[in-house]
């Protein structure tokens, strides 16, 4: 049970970090005018 909750907490924080990185990276690449393929 503890392992599952720990995994869920890690995955949730990781998901939030990934979303933040994706948004920042996409906005910066969009501003630069580069046509990068979007990840996820």
pLDDT tens digits, 1-40: 578 888 888 888 888 888 888 888 777 766 655 555 555 5
Q: Rounded to an integer, what distance in angstroms lies between the CA atom of residue 14 and that of residue 20?
A: 10
Which of 17, 9, 18 is closest to 40 using CA atoms? 18
Residue 15 pLDDT: 86
Instruction: Give the C-alpha distances (Å, rounded to integers) separating 19 from 1, 26, 29, 35.
Output: 27, 10, 15, 19
Total domains present in the chain: 1
Q: What is the DSSP letter of 37?
A: P
Residue 37 pLDDT: 58
Domain housing 18:
1-40
Residue 12 pLDDT: 85
Residue 5 pLDDT: 84
Instruction: Please name the residue that has the structure tokens 């580069």.
Output: 34
Token duo for residue 19:
């979303």
- Record the pTM: 0.39
Residue 13 pLDDT: 85
């Amino acid at each position: 049970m503890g392992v599952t909750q720990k995994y869920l907490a890690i995955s949730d924080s990781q998901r939030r970090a990934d979303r933040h990185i994706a948004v920042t990276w996409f906005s910066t690449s969009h501003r630069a005018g580069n046509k990068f393929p979007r990840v996820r």
